[in-house]
């Protein structure tokens, strides 16, 4: 039976999942991610049975023990006391406890700051919002991930060279994976991209073997979460 490895760009998944299916608790989001990955294996459109080799999740530990200046309140924010910090720690811990999940964690840049949310910036430039009307919710904490894309590329190469999987499903939205995808395909790997219904550049199609996303609507996600997700297609 052919084996499938699923690789998840965590930052991308969390943003798309929140946009598609709404905000959730850390426990609910972890359960959702597991079900979403398993939906690829249980897809009734596939032509052959597949076993799960492993789910690789790529992200960064939240920034803690650091304060960042907030331009609106003019105060330093202790990041390890924020709801986002607690949510992320719980979310990663939930994934660690799940069978067949392997976490690959990079680091966040020390140069962190608060900036306007993209939609707020557009409204300010268009003149439909005024600076004096801004609230704390109009700002977004920004910190650059380091080492995540590198880890994805290394794991794709390792899976291909060691013949540990016959198929790779990458849940991601950018084109940084192209060199690794080329290598995997040269080694005979069936390479599937899941952009979670986000649009991709037309020239990316020549570097993948297929494009497949699950659950477009919130109702589909809720229905899938109510169904049992078993280990029937897992390898030992």
* Same domain? 36 vs 138: no
* Same domain? 85 vs 115: no
* Same domain? 134 vs 162: no
* Same domain? 37 vs 115: no
Can you give the pLDDT at residue 232? 40
User: Using 50, 70 and 90 to split pLDDT, how confident is the model at 171?
Assistant: very high
Residue 117's domain comprises 110-143
* Same domain? 23 vs 103: yes
DSSP string, the chain: -EEEEEEEEHHHHHHHHHHHH----HHHHHHHHHHHHHHHHS-TT-SS-EEEEEEEEEEEPPP-S-EEEETTTTEEEEGGGSHHHHHHHHHHHHHHTSTTEEEEEEEE-S--EEEE-HHHHHHHHHTSS-GGG--GGGEEEE--EESHHHHHHHHHHHHHHTT--SEEEEE--SSTTHHHHHHHHHTT-EEEEE-TT----GGGGGG-SEE-----SHHHHHHHHHS----TTB--
Query: What is the pTM (predicted TM-score) of this model?
Result: 0.88
User: Using 50, 70 and 90 to split pLDDT, how confident is the model at 226?
Assistant: confident
- Check which CATH number belongs to the domain holding 83 and give it: 3.40.50.1010
> 49-102: per-residue pLDDT in tens?
789 999 999 999 997 777 899 999 999 988 888 888 999 999 999 999 999 999
Please say if the pLDDT value at position 40 is more than 90: yes
Across the range 111-134, mean pLDDT stands at 93
* Same domain? 11 vs 39: yes
Domains in the chain: how many in total? 2
Q: Is residue 232 part of a domain?
A: no
> 126-162: per-residue pLDDT in tens?
999 999 999 998 998 888 889 999 999 999 999 999 9
> 193-209: per-residue pLDDT in tens?
999 999 998 889 999 99
Please say if the pLDDT value at position 235 is more than 50: no
User: Using 50, 70 and 90 to split pLDDT, how confident is the model at 39?
Assistant: very high
* Same domain? 122 vs 212: no
Q: Is residue 26 part of a domain?
A: yes
């Amino acid at each position: 039976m052919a084996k499938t490895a699923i690789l998840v760009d965590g930052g991308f998944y969390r943003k798309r999942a929140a946009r598609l299916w709404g905000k959730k608790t850390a426990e609910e989001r972890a359960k959702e991610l597991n079900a979403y990955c398993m939906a690829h294996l249980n897809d009734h459109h596939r032509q052959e049975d597949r076993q799960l080799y492993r789910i690789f999740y790529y992200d960064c530990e939240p920034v803690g023990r650091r304060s960042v200046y907030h331009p609106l309140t003019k105060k330093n924010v202790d990041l390890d006391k924020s709801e986002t910090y607690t949510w992320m720690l719980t979310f990663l811990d939930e994934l660690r406890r799940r069978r067949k999940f392997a976490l690959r964690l990079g680091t966040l840049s020390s140069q962190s700051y608060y900036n306007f949310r993209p939609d707020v910036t557009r409204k300010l430039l268009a003149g439909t919002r005024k600076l004096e009307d801004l609230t704390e919710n109009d700002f977004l904490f920004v910190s650059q991930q380091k080492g995540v894309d590198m880890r994805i590329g290394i794991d794709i190469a390792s899976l291909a060279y060691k013949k540990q999987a016959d198929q790779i499903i990458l849940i991601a939205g950018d084109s940084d994976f192209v060199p690794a995808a080329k290598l995997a395909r040269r080694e005979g790997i069936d390479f599937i991209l899941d952009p979670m219904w986000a649009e991709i550049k037309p020239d990316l199609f020549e570097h993948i073997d297929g494009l497949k996303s699950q659950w477009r609507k919130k109702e589909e996600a809720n229905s899938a979460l109510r169904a049992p997700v078993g280990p029937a297609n897992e390898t030992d």
